[in-house]
Amino acid sequence: MFRLDGKNAVVTGAGSGIGRAIAKTFAAQGARVFVLERDEDAGAQTAAAIASAGGQATVVACDVSDAASVDAAFAHVGARVAADAGRIDILVNNAGIAHIGTVTSTTEADLQRIYDVNVKGVYLCSKAAVPRMVDAGGGVILNLASIASLIGLLDRFAYSMSKGAVLTMTRSIAVDYIKQGIRCNCVCPARVHTPFVDGYLRDTYPGREAEMFRQLSEYQPIGRMAEPEEVAALALYLCSDEASFITGQAFPIDGGVLVF
């Protein structure tokens, strides 16, 4: 179950954190993974880790906020898979950035930066992938949203705006392309322990990292943050044939936040 043998998967922002975990998990289950990453060195590290475990991965430079960059990346991926009589089977829109602030403390530049990556990036990559999937008879798109899509979070105005848009884009794509064989879902994590979290604590709370890590962990009633591999496992299921009856849905992975 949950094998991806013979499938081609594009994962954006796969150079670290959740994206890297998804890329490695998909490759371990037989997929050929295309690592779309603005930081090519980070992407190369993901690809090397996959190769060392016996998997297949190709790094493709891509800035998801730039239309020309996205078009070039998908043209490259499309040519590579066509050369092997394949197709783009899976797109995971993982690339994203965070921001802390309220509506009054968020600058116009802050809002634009979050929009360009978290919203426009999902739009551009989906726009590039969907026609190719339609021509091939179907495919799967998985978007990384957040529990911020579902509830209000303190000091996350711009970030919540962007992830709310991801949720509604997910449902729109699912409705528009269900008859063309495309499924589209999103996952909504609570806090996930990634290098971003460690860097944020180091830069924002020097000398208090352990204390603040504990506070962030205890926000989840289960008492800890998620691990990237746990999000990757859910992503694997939703992109596998075993989830072929699921589309247009948001899946919280939140350690009990929405329950309590």
- Give pLDDT tens digits for 20-75: 999 999 999 999 999 999 999 999 999 999 999 999 999 999 999 999 999 999 99
- DSSP 8-state class, residue 39: S
Architecture of domain 8-190+228-253: 3-Layer(aba) Sandwich (3.40)
User: Would you say residue 98 has pLDDT above 90?
Assistant: yes
For residues 201-227, one letter each, b for 16 or more C-beta atoms within 10 angstroms of the residue's C-beta and e for the rest, the string is: beeeeeeeeeeebeebbeebeeeebbe
Enumerate the domain spans of the chain. Answer: 8-190+228-253, 192-225
Q: Which of 115, 123, 159, 200 is catalytic?
A: 159
Structure confidence at residue 213 (pLDDT)? 96
Structure confidence at residue 82 (pLDDT)? 95
pLDDT tens for residues 173-211? 999 999 999 999 999 999 999 998 999 899 999 999 999
The answer to pTM > 0.95 is: yes
Spell out the long-range contacts of 73-78 with Cβ–Cβ below 8 A and sequence spacing 24 or more: 73/36, 73/128, 74/10, 74/125, 74/128, 74/129, 74/132, 77/8, 77/10, 77/34, 77/36, 78/132
Structure token digits, residue 132: 């190719």
Confidence of residue 260 (pLDDT cuts 50, 70, 90): confident
Assess whether 177 carries a catalytic annotation: no
pLDDT tens for residues 135-188? 999 999 999 999 999 999 999 999 999 999 999 999 999 999 999 999 999 999
